Amino acid sequence: MHKIRLLLLTLLMLTIPVASFAQFIVSVGIAPPALPVYEQPMVPAAGYLWTPGYWAYGDQGYFWVPGTWVMAPEVGLLWTPGYWGWGGDAYAWNGGYWGPHVGFYGGVNYGFGYGGVGYEGGYWNNGAFNYNRSVNNISNTNITNIYNKTVINNTTVNNVSYNGGTGGISARPTAEEETAAHERHAPPTATQTEHIKAASTNHELLASVNQGKPPIAATSKPGEFTGKGVVPAKEAGAPYKAAENKPADNKAAESKAAESKATENKAAENKAAESKATENQAAENKAAESKATENKAAENKAATQRAAQPVPRPPAESKPSKPSAAPPASAAHAQPAPRPQTAPKPEARPETAPRPATAAHAQPAPRPQTAPKPEARPETAPRPATAAHAQPAPRPQTAPKPEARPATVAHAAPAPQPAKEAPKPEERPRQ
């Protein structure tokens, strides 16, 4: 916490816009110690302006920033010191700045021309700074722009280092100081910033170590903490009291801890929500994959069963038999049409029954036909059947005896009519 505040102090002094240097930079729950009593070191050369020392706040508490002589960044600019001011619940540091006029610095009497209002240590004239001998140590220095003006210090509040709060200074900005606060400002120079940084790392400058009486109260140049230009404090401005309570620090620490806890809880909740969402998504994906696998297995099983079942053949159609002669049947396997029968000679061998034809589908055997009377019509050749597969032609039939029964056909085919009686040799028909 202390390191953060010190870092903010340094960074903000470098990066804050020029017009904002009167704003708060850091706040502390306890008041700074009283200003120590010390002598001003001799001015090193013409053009240097005095910047008074003050108590700053770091990671180990208050530490003293020695007063020092600094070259102005521009001709005509004056230094307005920073100050601690009570803000209702803490003391806030208002950073110093460079400007054409000296603004409000809390009414704090820093000495050496900074008596609480304005600056009595000198002024700019035609590009040169004129020094007031009564408040500046310019002896043994080759400076010609010197004048002497008596400055009366109010010793009753000489060592109080803050404005407002318990025991603080009750001063308020004047009209001139309000106007100066809105003028063009310049931030502390780089040498001033390095000077503050060096003081923050010096253990002897801690108020808890030096008890309000720093061994380096002021220096002749920024950052030079050794040598003849170093001036120690004569005494502390008031009895030093160690800080017992740090309500602002504690409050800030509690707020920080609460914020960290809230952030951790929020992060944990977000992580838990993400994990839950991931698990739900994984479960849904797994369920979908299982369902798809089951459906696929069921489809494969059904397809296998369908493929294993035999394809049923259509039932064979049977035609009813007629009392009369059977009409020619349309067979799946057609038989060739029989050749017309030729009457055998008297001396021919007895008639041999023709071989049965093989049919694809069985037909009921036709009833035996009765031999026609002698006056029957001449034999009519049967209609040829359409054959799917060729059959060998049957041998010519010989005329059966009158008592012979007609042959029984195993398969459906028109039965040949019995041949007439063999004609006489002279009545043999032409073939």
Is 80 exceeded by the pLDDT of residue 428? no
Q: What is the mean pLDDT of residues 47-57?
A: 96
Rounded-to-integer distance, Cα 274 and Cα 244, Å: 47
pLDDT range class, residue 319, cuts 50, 70, 90:
low
DSSP run (H or E) holding 298: helix 247-308
Are both 252 and 119 inside the same structural domain?
Answer: no
pLDDT tens-digit map of 196-218: 999 999 999 999 999 999 999 99
Q: Which of 177, 210, 239 is the last residue of a domain?
A: 239
Q: What is the mean pLDDT of residues 51-72?
A: 96
Q: What is the mean pLDDT of residues 108-134?
A: 94
In a domain, 94, yes or no: yes
In a domain, 325, yes or no: no
In a domain, 412, yes or no: no
Domain that includes residue 177, residue range: 2-239
Q: Which pLDDT score, from 0 to 100, does residue 113 have?
A: 94
For the ranges 147-156, 158-167, 419-428, the lowest mean pLDDT is seen at 419-428
Is 90 exceeded by the pLDDT of residue 370? no
Is 80 exceeded by the pLDDT of residue 126? yes
Q: Name residue, tokens 């010609």.
A: 144
Q: Which pLDDT score, from 0 to 100, does residue 127 have?
A: 92
| CA nearest neighbour of 232 among 210, 217, 213 | 217
Secondary structure string (H, E, C) spanning 222-243: CCCCCCCCCECEEECCCCCCCC
Q: Which pLDDT score, from 0 to 100, does residue 303 have?
A: 76
Q: Which pLDDT score, from 0 to 100, does residue 131 have?
A: 96
Are both 132 and 180 inside the same structural domain?
Answer: yes
The set of residues, in sequence order, having a beta carbon less than 8 Å from that of 153 and lying 6+ positions away, is 109, 111, 115
For 299, how many CA atoms within 13 A lie in the half-sphere containing its CB?
6
pLDDT range class, residue 255, cuts 50, 70, 90:
low
Q: Which pLDDT score, from 0 to 100, does residue 205 have?
A: 97
Are both 170 and 272 inside the same structural domain?
Answer: no
Q: Which pLDDT score, from 0 to 100, does residue 354 have?
A: 47
Q: Which pLDDT score, from 0 to 100, does residue 268 have?
A: 66
Are both 198 and 262 inside the same structural domain?
Answer: no
Are both 195 and 277 inside the same structural domain?
Answer: no
Are both 211 and 66 inside the same structural domain?
Answer: yes
In a domain, 148, yes or no: yes
Q: Which pLDDT score, from 0 to 100, does residue 168 have?
A: 93
Q: Which pLDDT score, from 0 to 100, does residue 144 have?
A: 87
Q: Which pLDDT score, from 0 to 100, does residue 257 have?
A: 55
92 and 239 in contact (C-beta within 8 Å)? no
The set of residues, in sequence order, having a beta carbon less than 8 Å from that of 196 and lying 6+ positions away, is 9, 10, 13, 56, 65, 188
Q: Is the pTM value of this prediction over 0.95? A: no
362 and 418 in contact (C-beta within 8 Å)? no
Q: Which pLDDT score, from 0 to 100, does residue 26 have?
A: 67
In a domain, 370, yes or no: no
User: 190-200 vs 2-15: helix axis angle to the nearest 10?
Assistant: 170
Q: What is the mean pLDDT of residues 352-367?
A: 46
61 and 210 in contact (C-beta within 8 Å)? no
- Please give the residue that has the higher pLDDT: either 303 or 78: 78
How much of the chain is in helix, strand and coil states, percent to nearest 5?
A: 25, 15, 60
Q: Which pLDDT score, from 0 to 100, does residue 25 have?
A: 55
- Please give the residue that has the higher pLDDT: either 378 or 174: 174
- State the total domains in the chain: 2
pLDDT range class, residue 314, cuts 50, 70, 90:
low
| Tally of helices (H runs) and strands (E runs) in the chain | 5, 16
Q: What is the mean pLDDT of residues 104-129?
A: 94
Are both 69 and 16 inside the same structural domain?
Answer: yes
Is 60 exceeded by the pLDDT of residue 240? yes
Are both 230 and 256 inside the same structural domain?
Answer: no
Q: What is the mean pLDDT of residues 275-285?
A: 75
Is 60 exceeded by the pLDDT of residue 267? yes
